[in-house]
Amino acid sequence: MKKVLIADDEIAGRKLIKEYLEVFPQLVLISEVNNGVDAIAEINRFKPDLVFLDVQMPGKTGFEVLSYLEEIPQIIFSTAYDQYALQAFEVHAVDYLLKPYTKERFSKAIERLETSGKDVSGLAQSLIMEKEDYPERVLVQLNKKLVTIGVSDIIWVEAYGDYSKIHTASSIFLSNYGITNLEEKLNPKSFMRVHRSSIINLNKVKELHRYGKSYDVTMENTDVVRVSRGYMDALKKIML
């Protein structure tokens, strides 16, 4: 069974989707909304598996909705505007239904649910990271789910190949952003690069220990992060 939510500002659009869903008992409608603001609230509340998402809605567009979600469900865009199709498929949406569409076209979209990945992280992540200079939340991977976490909860960041591991008090998350990209988006008043492979949250530092000609930083979660010589000068500037 998949939980389904419909976000469409047109009554006729929501009615059509509900009608077509009747022949798919495995898809259970749990909520419907008519604007982007309510879409964000209801998706974060109910955590649906699938969302039929309009693009042009009052409050927030469908693409903007993605950047405010705590978890990213499978997305089927349902819209009267064809100019957003390329953007939708670039972020691996399951399908893009262009209104008006037939029952047969709707059924093909449903068939793709089992064969299409649920990764719509590309656009969601870029919207989160680009909507302000220093975002308050970042999109990360947790097991098979995509979730957002507060930047203030980050204790330190560890390079992991082309990706990054984000350490918090509760868990370790994987970010699709490399450590250099994250460094550019994290507020330097709170975050400092102390190694080519490490960024620390200065507000989460517990202790600082001298180690030869360098330092080890003990973080709030007891992780120890080495400060390399190349980053010593920056660290010394904030030491009293």
* CATH number of the structural domain spanning residue 102: 3.40.50.2300
Is the domain of 105 the same as that of 143? no
Structure tokens at 54: 């309009």
Is the domain of 74 the same as that of 160? no
Q: DSSP letters along the chain, please? A: -EEEEEE-S-HHHHHHHHHHHTT-TTEEEEEEESSHHHHHHHHHHH--SEEEE-SS-SSS-HHHHHTT-SB--EEEEEES-GGGHHHHHHTT-SEEEESS--HHHHHHHHHTTTTS----HHHHHHHHHHSSSS-SEEEEEETTEEEEEEGGG--EEEEETTEEEEE-SS-EEEESS-HHHHHHHS-TTTEEEEETTEEEEGGGEEEEEEETTEEEEEETTS-EEEEPGGGHHHHHHT--
Number of domains into which the chain is organized = 2
Average pLDDT over residues 167-185: 90
Q: Which helix (H) or strand (E) holds 118?
A: none
Is the domain of 174 the same as that of 227? yes
Is the domain of 144 the same as that of 60? no
Is the domain of 58 the same as that of 97? yes
Does residue 148 or residue 107 have the better pLDDT? 107
Is the domain of 50 the same as that of 85? yes
- The answer to the question of residue 130 being in a domain is no
- The answer to the question of residue 223 being in a domain is yes
> Which amino acid is residue 21, in one-letter code?
L
- The Cα diameter of the chain in Å comes to 71
Last residue of a domain, one of 95, 121, 147: 121
- The answer to the question of residue 152 being in a domain is yes
Distance CA 65, CA 124 (A): 8
Tell me the per-residue pLDDT of 27-58, one tens digit each, with 9 for 90 and over. Answer: 999 999 999 999 999 999 999 999 999 999 99
Residue 116 gets which letter from DSSP? S
93, 120 contact by CB (below 8 A):
yes
Residue of 68, 208, 197, 196 whose CA lies nearest to 138:
68
Distance CA 162, CA 222 (A): 25
pLDDT for the residue 120 = 47
Domain that holds residue 39: 2-121
Tell me the per-residue pLDDT of 124-136, one tens digit each, with 9 for 90 and over. Answer: 555 556 555 787 8
pLDDT for the residue 67 = 79
Is the domain of 14 the same as that of 113? yes
Residue 22 gets which letter from DSSP? T
Is the domain of 200 the same as that of 112? no
Percent of the chain with pLDDT over 90: 53
pTM over 0.85: no
CATH number of the domain residue 159 falls in:
2.40.50.1020
Is the domain of 25 the same as that of 114? yes
- The answer to the question of residue 131 being in a domain is no
Average pLDDT over residues 6-14: 95
Last residue of a domain, one of 121, 150, 173: 121
- The answer to the question of residue 126 being in a domain is no
Average pLDDT over residues 211-218: 85
Is the domain of 150 the same as that of 218? yes
Is the domain of 13 the same as that of 102? yes
- The answer to the question of residue 72 being in a domain is yes
What average pLDDT is seen over the chain? 86
- The answer to the question of residue 147 being in a domain is yes
